Amino acid sequence: AFNAKDGLGIHRLIKSGIEVGIITGRVSSFVSKRAEDLGIRHVYQKKMDKKPVFLELCEKLALKPDQVAYMGDDIIDLPVLEEVAIRACPADAMPCVKKICNFIAHNKGGRGAARELCDCILEAQ
């Protein structure tokens, strides 16, 4: 699910100079189109093992994992969440994910959770 509020939050991050990426285990033309519409340049689909892709992206962007915020909701996100500074999840994330997160959104995934994280990052700048 996509939410206009999430989209505006992501758009604001990108406009402020913050790189945004998507790493998903699924393949969807909708994800590709939404990323293109928002200006997200880093999109990786059909990646069940997300950590190698994440580390590759960090290297590409000259970032250390502890300079990254990451939002995930299920067990395939745990290896990346364990590496980052801001470990975020939506309200409907699996309990094992919530347990390690230091930012738990009030909203569910696809229903404003990403916007909450985006706003928090922008406010912290």
Is it the case that residue 1 has pLDDT exceeding 70?
Answer: no
* Separation CA 92–CA 49 (nearest Å): 21
What is the CA 60 to chain-centroid distance, rounded?
A: 17
Q: Interhelix angle for 4-15 vs 113-124, to 10°?
A: 30
Is it the case that residue 28 has pLDDT exceeding 70?
Answer: yes
Which are the contacts of 50, defined by CB distance < 8 A and separation ≥ 6? 23, 25, 76, 77, 79, 80
Q: Which two tokens stand for residue 60?
A: 């590409």
Q: Say what the pLDDT of residue 17 is.
A: 95
Whether this prediction's pTM lies above 0.85 is answered by yes
Q: Say what the pLDDT of residue 62 is.
A: 96
Q: Say what the pLDDT of residue 3 is.
A: 82
Q: Say what the pLDDT of residue 65 is.
A: 95
Residue in the block written with tokens 């990323």: 35
Looking at residue 78, its amino acid is: L
Band (pLDDT 50/70/90 cuts) for residue 125 is: confident
Is it the case that residue 72 has pLDDT exceeding 70?
Answer: yes
Question: Mean pLDDT, to the nearest integer, of 65-93?
Answer: 97
HSE (side-chain half, CA atoms, 13 Å) at 37: 12
Q: What is the mean pLDDT of the chain?
A: 95
